[in-house]
């Protein structure tokens, strides 16, 4: 291999390997509280954003990141610093319980548990 070809290939390789570390390629961390697990499996993130914005508009008193986190973690021994898996498990359980006890809301044509609606609202704040 010629020296010039080797240097060019080395430069191309270095450039290609550095792409994953570019700031535009990194994914923003989303808190566990802002991830409506079941709803994420049936709709895209744009739908979650729009749904969250509609819920916030209809519930002005909950249109705050800290307030929503507080409501989502209320009556549990967990905090925002708890493990992500623990938070997700607790919220999935709360969603199931919401449906069983009739704590449902209609947002943009979607029948959601109150917990899911609040998660969508928090997601829309975090992603804005």
Q: Is residue 88 in some structural domain?
A: yes
Residue 13 lies in a domain: no
Within 10 angstroms of residue 117's Cβ, the number of other Cβ atoms is 28
In the 8-state DSSP scheme, what is residue 77? S
* Domain around 92: 32-127
In this predicted model, what pLDDT tens digit does every residue of 92-103 receive, in sequence order?
999 999 999 999
pTM metric for this prediction: 0.74
- The more confident residue out of 119 and 37 is 119
Structural domain contains residue 18: no
Our count of domains for the chain comes to: 1
């Amino acid at each position: 291999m010629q020296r010039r070809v080797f240097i060019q290939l080395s430069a191309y390789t270095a450039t290609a390997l550095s792409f994953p570390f570019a700031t535009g390629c990194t994914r923003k961390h989303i808190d566990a509280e802002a991830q409506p697990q079941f709803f994420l499996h049936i709709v895209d993130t744009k739908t979650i954003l729009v749904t969250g914005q509609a819920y916030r508009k209809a519930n002005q008193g909950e249109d705050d990141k800290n307030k929503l986190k507080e409501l989502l973690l209320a009556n549990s021994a967990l905090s925002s610093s708890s493990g992500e898996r623990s938070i997700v498990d607790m919220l999935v359980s709360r969603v199931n319980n919401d449906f069983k006890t009739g704590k449902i809301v209609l947002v943009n044509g979607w029948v959601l548990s109150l917990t899911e609606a609040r998660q969508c609202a928090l997601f829309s704040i975090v992603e804005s």
